Amino acid sequence: MSKRRIPANLIPLLKLMSNGSFHSGEDMAARFSVSRATIFNLLNEAEKYGMRIHAVRGRGYRLATPVSWLDADAFLSGIKRHELDYGLICQECAESTNTWLLREALSGAPHRTVAYADFQYGGRGRRGRSWESTLGGGLTFSVLWRFDRGISQLSGLSIVVGLALARAMSKLGRIPVQLKWPNDLLSGYRKLAGILVEVQGEMSGPSFAIIGIGLNERLSDQQRQEIDQAVVDLAELGMEMTRAELMLAILEELSQLMTVFEQNGLAPLMEEWSGWHAHEGREVIVRMPDGTTHAGIASGLDENGNLLLRSASGEQRKFAAGEVSMRGMSR
């Protein structure tokens, strides 16, 4: 997928078409003060991003499948109703919600600011990888969390966020999900969501974390082909709900778990995390950033969120980074 800004008016046009009705090219051109040729070109551009458009002579255009967009008013009403104390900033298109929120944080954005974008064209994953954001197919947002403690005490944050995702998905849809150390949510060993936590600050405090979450909602065949691993989405799992409901559920769980983490660290959460761990007690291979590999039995976490691996000889080693795959299975 091309990493570039999408054309002006494309997202507003798609939002207009998301009500399930047909819209004529003439009416849409008048609404956006552009030519019918511009509307035609915008719809062609949408199809390049995996959107399917139905065109019927005499009736106009509509989206072939539903697309979820964030209702900011519904989200903010839910925040107030659940007393969650988050603030929201929104953009239609951002390079990366993490990059955007980092700039906001350095400019003084308050604790618990949530940055949401309808589409991000330069999303980032761990170790500089790209995160394949899909137009209309995935939920992407980031959360600013400020701490009085130093960055040395923030190890294991992705473990906390993963638990929040697992709890939220289980409560919302009762779908079978698992966690893959250190930052993925799976269902049936296929990736459903990813996490990117980035921290800045002083070793002794204060500090802050930018918590980025990307969740697959409804991926087209084209979008699936552009992702270099096995993926699954909420639609395939039979889970239909609004983005406001999804974000509220995740943020509510995050609030509860972050309170535990801030007061007691990871220790109270380690047993629960192991219960969600897709590879717990199984033979796995850990591939390190330098390409070396280590095989053993996944045996939980230590107090800093490092993965514990037990070798055939009984020796236990810990890993702070790496890619985990089931032995004999591809990543």
pLDDT digits over 168-184, tens only? Answer: 999 998 788 999 998 89
Query: Which domains are delineated in the chain?
Result: 10-63 (1.10.10.10), 72-274 (3.30.930.10), 279-326 (2.30.30.100)
Predicted pLDDT at 49: 82
Q: Would you say residue 78 has pLDDT above 90?
A: yes
**Of 146-160, 209-223, 298-312, the least confident:** 209-223
Buried b (16+ CB within 10 A) or exposed e, 289-298: eeeeeeebbb
In whole angstroms, give the CA distance from residue 181 to residue 284: 11
Q: Would you say residue 132 has pLDDT above 70?
A: no
**Of 23-37, 113-127, 238-252, the least confident:** 113-127
